[in-house]
Amino acid sequence: MRSHSVAAEGGTAAVLYPDEGDSIESHIWDTIKGSDFLADQDAVELFVKSAPEEIRLLERWGMPWSRRADGRIAQRPFGGHEFPRATFASDRVGFHEMQTLYGILQSCRNVEFHHEWFATSILHRHGIFQGITAVELKTGNFVLVRAKAGIIATGGAGRVYGFTTYGYHSTADGHYLAYRAGLALKDMEFIQFHPTGLVPRGILVTEASRGEGGFLVNKDGERFMKRYAPSKMELAPRDVVSRSEISEINEGRGIEGPDRIDCVGLDLRHLGKEKILERLPQIREMTMKFLGIDPVDEIIPVEPAAHYAMGGIHTDISGATEIRGLWAAGETASVSVHGANRLGANSTSLCLVYGRIAGKEATDYVNDGHDGGELSKAQALSEESRVYDDTLHGSGSENPYEIRDRLQRIMDKHAYVFRTSEGLKTALREVRQLKEEAYRRVTDKAKEYNTNLEHVLELDSLLETAEVMLVSALARQESRGAHARLDYPKRDDANWLKHTVARKTADLPSIDYVPVKITKYLPTERRY
């Protein structure tokens, strides 16, 4: 229940009202266009068709969806969606979804929870999944888990950045577990920057604030989105809005925010107190607590903050990885439905859809009698030695928290909304230098709840994943979705309509490409 999903605020996308004008076809098209045509279209079709049933299932399990005056489930507009299809429960969507799912699991007698177990590696032999290793944080014991099937669902990679909306657990562990086990990481150059990260910390101000009618303004009070996306304005997709904000700031029309940070303004004042209290109570509470700003009367300072990784562990349309018996679901996976840019509210619904698909696939696999066999002792011992000898008793001289801060500053500076070859190369050189530094230093030697050990292990994940992001970003010489290269400002379908797949080698990640699956939606120019 401390997962990142609890923090999801604004909505879960699904087509609920074909009778009122929405359609499966429209959601599919919005998602593919939003992805800048990098999404695999067969996966998008499956996702969109499956999402409505997940909303109804949650409802049957007790999810308190907000209602309309006529009693039907309420939906609100979200960026890049042609129809208001973000299903919500006030501005605490993820909290209520997680409560509902956790509650229902409590009633399943065959579900066992292992809270506070930290997975450290995937065990497999000849490409067949056998289990994982983990540290039980409560006792500090090293645990071998033999399993017939597994699903990686470890969430996002956002803590590679400092200015981010992510929770502290989003440290790319699953990405790194998979990468070390020989699996490919796909499309890691595509990081979504959410247009409304609260300045100066990056805490999320939900897109629902614009869905409910909020304006983005520059220092002259002008709704600048009219210059960049005249038909969708503030509800253009996030990549478009983030680039527009940075362009305003770069051209001298930004607002001076807290800590003298250049930003833009989110204006909710015209919505009125009643609507803000009913629809966006958490946003008001947060801006008042963190900045002393009441959005009923004042403009909120915001700028793009790292928010989502479109890429992740390479899977097929059923969520299967390249290791037999192992699936990936949620943000850590790249199916790919989001392509180069995710639409808001499509992540929590993708978690629901692929949670079910991967769960069913894994269950069927086990019921078919598959079994990875006895664990390799040598593999387990070598992992135990990595965790305890090399890390807990490591002889590092550098402070790992300073290394993490330096990594985040590098990524914030060079792998942000606009990128250049020069900046990415500098970042790669600096990240590789950080990897060389002796950061395996755990000062807390306690066995129980050694979060210091956990943080140092997480630093491995962050550094390795950042390297993959940078190498993938350098290689992609075009601008598509969230990957905007100043030196290659145009999308280039002739050469780059393909997914990046990165694999671990002894040196830099190797980069290869796999085709995008096109069913019937041909790439066109993206205008909003």
Ligand X SMILES: Cc1cc2nc3c(=O)[nH]c(=O)nc-3n(C[C@H](O)[C@H](O)[C@H](O)COP(=O)(O)OP(=O)(O)OC[C@H]3O[C@@H](n4cnc5c(N)ncnc54)[C@H](O)[C@@H]3O)c2cc1C
The 3-state secondary structure of 41-75, one letter per residue: HHHHHHHHHHHHHHHHHHHHCCCCCCECCCCCECE
The Cβ-side half-sphere exposure at 35, using a 13 Å CA radius, reads 34
Task: Point out which residues bind ligand X (CB under 6 A).
Answer: 3-5, 7-12, 93-94, 118-119, 153-156, 165-166, 169-170, 173, 204, 307-308, 330-332, 345-348, 351
Rg (CA), the chain: 22
CB of 77 to ligand X, least distance (A): 13
Which tokens belong to 120? Answer: 């450290």
Question: In terms of DSSP bridges, do strands 312-314 and 150-152 run parallel, antiparallel, or are they unpaired?
Answer: unpaired
Nearer to ligand X, 204 or 410 (CB): 204
Is 194 among the residues known to form the active site? yes
SS3 229: coil
Nearer to ligand X, 63 or 424 (CB): 63
Q: State the DSSP H helix or E strand holding residue 209, giving kind and residue range, or none if neither.
A: helix 208-211
Catalytic pick among 194, 314, 386, 480: 194
Side-by-side strand order, sheet with 117-125: 117-125, 128-136, 141-146
SS3 472: helix
The DSSP code sequence of 87-128 is E-STT-HHHHHHHHHHHHHHT-TT----TTEEEEEEEEETTE
Which tokens belong to 27? Answer: 């959601």
* CA distances for 332 relative to 103, 174, 245, 457, angstroms: 24, 6, 28, 18
Nearer to ligand X, 430 or 454 (CB): 454
Residues ≥6 apart with Cβ < 8 Å to 483: 189, 190, 340, 419, 473, 476
For residues 426 and 429, what is the distance between their CA atoms, to the nearest angstrom?
5
CB of 455 to ligand X, least distance (A): 12
Catalytic pick among 96, 175, 210, 526: 210
Q: State the DSSP H helix or E strand holding residue 135, giving kind and residue range, or none if neither.
A: strand 128-136
CA 498: distance to chain centroid? 21
Is 314 among the residues known to form the active site? no
For residues 497 and 100, what is the distance between their CA atoms, to the nearest angstrom?
39
CB of 242 to ligand X, least distance (A): 14
Nearer to ligand X, 11 or 319 (CB): 11
CB of 408 to ligand X, least distance (A): 15
Q: How many CB atoms lie within 10 A of CB 504?
A: 20
Nearer to ligand X, 3 or 26 (CB): 3
For residues 49 and 8, what is the distance between their CA atoms, to the nearest angstrom?
22
Q: 142-173 as b/e, with b when 16 or more CB fall inside 10 Å?
A: bbbeebbbbbbbbbbbbbbbbbbbbbeebbbb
CB of 235 to ligand X, least distance (A): 15
CB of 383 to ligand X, least distance (A): 13
CB of 249 to ligand X, least distance (A): 22
Helix (DSSP H) and strand (DSSP E) numbers for the chain: 15, 20
Place of tokens 């790292």: 306
CB of 234 to ligand X, least distance (A): 16
CB of 426 to ligand X, least distance (A): 27
Nearer to ligand X, 32 or 286 (CB): 286
CB of 321 to ligand X, least distance (A): 15
Nearer to ligand X, 191 or 345 (CB): 345
**Residue 9 near residue 282 (C-beta atoms within 8 A):** yes
The Cβ-side half-sphere exposure at 357, using a 13 Å CA radius, reads 25
Nearer to ligand X, 164 or 479 (CB): 164
Active site residues: 194, 210
